[in-house]
Amino acid sequence: MDRQEVLAKIADAAVEVLGVERELVTENANFKDDLDADSLDLVEFVMAVEEQFDVSIPEEKLEGIGTVGQAADMVIAAQESPAPSAAESGTSA
């Protein structure tokens, strides 16, 4: 999945969970300042993103994530990290 697809899905989650207009969800949009997300909103948003992308994001990785673009980077990294465990389990590509 390329970055644009990840950003589009994150925008979908932001619209649904945060109740914001889609045009506000840009790569540089700050969750708190631009999208008016409080800490509870962000928890719900992260849960929605984890479900949508079928990834698990450790809480310590969430610190410093302030923008939609940073969230996309985090999802992309989370999608790439399970690959070694699949190879270790004997699954061949």
Summarize the confidence of residues 26-53 as an average pLDDT. 95
Supply 38's token pair.
């409080």
| Whether the Cβ atoms of residue 26 and residue 10 lie closer than 8 Å to each other | no
Which residues carry out catalysis?
A: 38
Domains of the chain (ranges plus CATH)?
3-83 (1.10.1200.10)
Q: What angle do CA 9, 43, 8 make, to 5 degrees?
A: 10
Q: What percent of the chain has pLDDT over 90?
A: 73
pTM of the full structure: 0.81
> So what's the pLDDT on residue 81?
76
> So what's the pLDDT on residue 82?
53
Q: What angle do CA 18, 15, 75 make, to 5 degrees?
A: 90
Q: How confident is the model at residue 34 (pLDDT cuts 50, 70, 90)?
A: very high
